[in-house]
């Protein structure tokens, strides 16, 4: 039995109906066995030899698990339970990757000061899922150390490491490297080049004490010949172009974005890839979205509302605090009541437009929109303040959505090969 047949046989009746609707939406005829399965309960597609054939299915979408916001100030002993159990779940069920961020000195995100340490822990409890930094704030670190640490994780994980690099934005983080704040974007791209060269085994010259040059290579040698590199951007079009110029993938979010504005940046990125001798479609674009799915839309909305509003209030406060310390112009100081109202209004927008909050059926249209503009992966932010048991239970519904797109892509490929 082909892998496609196994995948389709495993679908629940609800997932089969979703798959048929999704194929209709994309204008792809549903395979005859899929139509017949409603009566027979059996779901078998004809075996096809696809060895050596390029998968020409369009609108494929990967799903990964993203962590960012858990409170590190608590004294409980199981702070990392959600991360560990979610990673195990994603590993068992075919999710693309798990992302661990770098955050410093704030309750908001305080569980994640070092993604390489958490990556090493995840390497020991998973077997297939990709382990990604999302992101290493490179201007805070020596690139040699970054290459060394992630080479260790690459060995522990049998070659599953990928790293997204960020330039950083929060001034307090730069107590770790205060001289780098002003030129952090340039320092990041220069550091990426150094990490790549060291990863590839190149001997490089660095200045040691007393201005003595030292030639060195990193150890241990990583298992992957080349490090898969991502660039994290909040929306600056120039960063998208520079990422394309170095052949990096993109990790981004939807703060202040619409599908239309995001598409323009993706187009810039792919043009830059092509201009610098990269295949335009080789670049991956992952979009981080707040995620919690259930079976009842209104129940989900009221369940996530308190956590999302609190999350958005914290984000607004941190953004204003950072702006006041970063620029010379006056920034309006909003009251707690103002921020609560702004967060409540933002919640309505996020719930309906820019999140995977709701039911799998509700989220299909949004995911289709991302597929259409060239997004290749949804990085599902699942730790924004909900109860751990609730989040873990919701992963079942998220996996329904993931399976829908995996099966739709496979069915499209099957149609192309006929």
Chain segment 351-379, per-residue pLDDT in tens: 988 999 999 999 999 999 999 999 999 99
pLDDT for the residue 15:
57
pLDDT at 229 over 80: yes
Helix (H, G, I), strand (E, B) or coil at 252: strand
In the three-class reduction of DSSP (H, G, I as helix; E, B as strand; rest coil), residue 149 is classed as: helix
Look at residue 76 and tell me whether its pLDDT is greater than 90.
Answer: no
Q: By percentage, how much of the chain surpasses pLDDT 90?
A: 62
Indicate the pairing of strand 285-293 with strand 356-358: parallel
Range 313-318, long-range pairs (CB < 8 A, 24+ positions):
313/339, 313/340, 313/342, 313/343, 314/108, 315/108, 316/342, 316/343, 318/106, 318/108, 318/170
pTM for the model: 0.82
Q: For all residues of the chain together, what is the average pLDDT?
A: 84
Q: What is the pLDDT of residues 195-222, one digit of tens each?
A: 999 999 999 999 999 889 999 999 999 9
Per domain, the residue ranges of the chain are: 1-50+403-418
Number of Cβ within a 10 Å radius of residue 391: 20
CA distance 29 to 74: 52
Sign of CA dihedral 315, 316, 318, 323: positive
Find the largest Cα–Cα distance for the chain.
Answer: 79
In degrees, rounded to 5, the angle at the alpha carbon of residue 240 between the alpha carbons of residues 234 and 245 is 150
pLDDT in tens, 316-337: 665 555 544 444 445 455 566 6
pLDDT in tens, 5-33: 455 555 666 656 665 655 555 454 454 44
Give residue 23's pLDDT: 53
Q: How many CB atoms lie within 10 A of CB 281?
A: 11
Q: What is the DSSP secondary structure assignment for residue 95, as one 8-state letter? A: -
pLDDT in tens, 115-124: 999 999 999 9
Q: How far is CA 314 from CA 11, 137, 259, 311, in A?
A: 39, 21, 25, 5
CB within 8 Å of 16: residues ≥ 6 apart: 8, 34, 37, 38, 43
H or E stretch covering 322: helix 297-326
- pLDDT of the residue at 40: 42
């Amino acid at each position: 039995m082909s892998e496609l047949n196994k995948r389709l046989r495993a679908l629940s009746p609800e997932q089969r109906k979703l798959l048929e609707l999704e194929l209709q939406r994309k204008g792809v005829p549903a395979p005859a066995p899929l139509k017949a399965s409603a009566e027979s309960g059996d779901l078998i597609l004809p075996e096809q030899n696809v060895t050596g054939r390029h998968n020409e299915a369009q609108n494929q979408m990967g799903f990964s698990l993203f962590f960012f916001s858990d409170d590190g100030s608590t004294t409980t002993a199981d702070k990392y339970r959600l991360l560990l159990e979610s990673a195990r779940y994603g590993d068992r069920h075919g999710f693309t990757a798990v992302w661990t961020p770098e955050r410093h000195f704030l309750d908001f995100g305080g569980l994640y000061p070092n993604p390489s340490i958490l990556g090493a822990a995840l390497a020991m409890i998973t077997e297939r899922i990709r382990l990604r930094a999302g992101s290493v704030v490179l201007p805070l670190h020596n690139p040699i150390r970054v290459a060394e640490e992630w080479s260790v994780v690459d060995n522990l994980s049998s070659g599953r490491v990928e790293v997204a690099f960020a330039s950083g934005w929060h001034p307090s983080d730069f107590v770790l490297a205060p001289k780098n704040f002003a030129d952090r974007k340039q320092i990041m791209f220069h550091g990426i080049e150094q990490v790549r060269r060291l990863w590839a085994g190149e001997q490089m010259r660095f200045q040691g004490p007393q201005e003595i040059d030292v030639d060195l290579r990193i150890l241990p040698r990583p298992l992957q010949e080349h490090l898969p590199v991502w660039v994290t951007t909040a929306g600056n079009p120039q960063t998208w172009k520079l990422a394309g110029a170095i052949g990096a993938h993109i990790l981004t979010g939807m703060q202040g974005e619409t599908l239309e504005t995001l598409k323009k940046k993706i187009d810039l990125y792919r043009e830059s890839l092509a201009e610098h001798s990269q295949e335009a479609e080789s670049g991956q674009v992952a979009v981080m979205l707040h995620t919690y799915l259930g079976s009842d839309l209104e129940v989900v909305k009221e369940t996530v509302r308190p956590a999302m509003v609190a999350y958005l209030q914290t984000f607004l406060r941190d953004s204003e605090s950072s702006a006041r310390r970063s620029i010379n112009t006056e920034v309006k100081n909003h009251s707690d009541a103002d921020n609560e109202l702004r967060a409540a209004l933002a919640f309505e927008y996020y719930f309906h437009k820019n999140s995977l909050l709701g039911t799998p059926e509700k989220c299909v249209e949004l995911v289709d929109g991302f597929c259409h503009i060239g997004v290749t992966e949804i990085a599902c932010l699942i730790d924004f303040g909900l109860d751990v048991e609730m989040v873990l239970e919701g992963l079942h519904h998220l996996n329904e959505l993931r399976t829908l797109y995996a099966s739709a892509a496979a069915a499209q490929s099957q149609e192309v090969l006929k």
